Amino acid sequence: RAMCSGRLQTALLGAGYFVYLLVGAAVFQALERTAEKQEKRAAAQMKEAFLQNFTQLTVAEMEQFMQNLIEAIQNGVYPVGNESQYEESNWDFSNSFFFAGTVVSTIGYGTLHPKTAGGQIFCVFFALFGIPLNIVFLHRVGKMLSLLCKKLGKFLYEKGMRKKKIKFLTLLFFLATGILVFLCLPSVFFQITEGWSYSEGIYFAFITLSTIGFGDYVVGKQSDRKYFSYYRVLVAIWILFGLAWIALLFNL
C-alpha cells in the first residue's frame, strides 16, 4: 500500500510538473509572440533601407545600422534570408516549452528571453515557483531510480556478492548507462540534426546537463536548417530526465 501510494504521488507530481511547463509555455508564447513580430518587421525594414542606400551611408549612419543589427540579434531576430523566414517565430510552442524548461532547470542559455514587461514579470513568478518544483521533481525521480539500485543490489547480494563490491558495481552501472543514454547517443542525434561535430555534441550535452549553459551552442537556432516539429520539446524532455539521472548519481 505504501509503495502504491508513493507511485501515485510520483505520478501526480510528474503530471503537475509537466502541466506547469505547458501552461508556462502557453503564457510565454501569448505574451511574447506579438512583440517579436513587430521586432522582425522593424528588422526587415532596416535591412531593406540599408540595401537601398548602403552606397550613400555616412560613417555615423553605418555605425547606427551596426548597433541596430547587434540589438536585433541579441533579441533573437536574425535579418537574413527572404521574408518567409521572418514569419517563423522564436516563440512558437516548441520554443516556448524549451524556454520554460531551461528556466526551471536554471540552465538559462540567454539566447531566448522575454522582452515585454508582462513576459519578464511572469518569468519572475514562473521561476520563483518553478525552480523549487523542479528540485522536488528531480529528487522524487532520483529516489525512484534509487529503488531500482536497491533491487539490483539485493539481487547481487543474493548471488553471494559482497556489499562493497555491490555498491561499486551499482554506481558503475548507472554511471555508464547514463553516459551512454544521456551523453553519447544524444550527441549522435545532435550531430545529425544540427550538423555539429560529435565532439561539439558531447560538449553541448555536458554543458547543458551540468546547467552551466554558456549559450554558445543551442539547439534549433540555425536558420539554414529545417527542424521537425516539437524538436525542442524533445530536447527539453531529454534535459529534464538527464538532470534526474544526475540527481540519481548524487543519491548514490
Q: What is the pLDDT of residue 32?
A: 92
What would the pLDDT profile of 80-135 be if each residue is shown by its tens digit?
665 545 567 889 899 999 999 999 999 988 888 898 999 999 999 999 999 999 99
Q: What is the pLDDT of residue 3?
A: 58
Orientation of helix 117-158 relative to helix 231-251, angle to 10°: 50
Q: Is there a contact between 102 and 108 (Cβ–Cβ < 8 Å)?
A: yes
Long-range contact set of residues 14-19: C-beta below 8 Å, sequence gap at least 24: 14/137, 14/140, 14/141, 16/133, 17/133, 17/134, 17/137
Residue 2 has pLDDT above 70, yes or no: no
Q: With cut-offs at 50, 70 and 90, classify the pLDDT of residue 15.
A: very high
Amino acid residing at 90: N
Task: Using alpha carbons, list the distances in angstroms from residue 144 to 54, 132, 141.
Answer: 62, 18, 5
DSSP class of 116: S
Q: With cut-offs at 50, 70 and 90, classify the pLDDT of residue 209.
A: very high
Nearest to 197 by CA among 217, 221, 225, 176: 217
Q: What is the pLDDT of residue 192?
A: 94
Q: With cut-offs at 50, 70 and 90, classify the pLDDT of residue 48.
A: confident
pTM across the whole model: 0.84
Residue 236 has pLDDT above 70, yes or no: yes
Domains of the chain: 1-80 (no CATH), 84-251 (1.10.287.70)
Residue 77 has pLDDT above 90, yes or no: no
Q: What is the pLDDT of residue 228?
A: 85
C-alpha 85/C-alpha 207 separation (Å) is: 29
What would the pLDDT profile of 138-179 be if each residue is shown by its tens digit?
888 888 887 888 888 888 888 888 888 888 888 888 899 999
Q: What is the pLDDT of residue 149?
A: 81
C-alpha 46/C-alpha 152 separation (Å) is: 63
C-alpha 100/C-alpha 24 separation (Å) is: 6
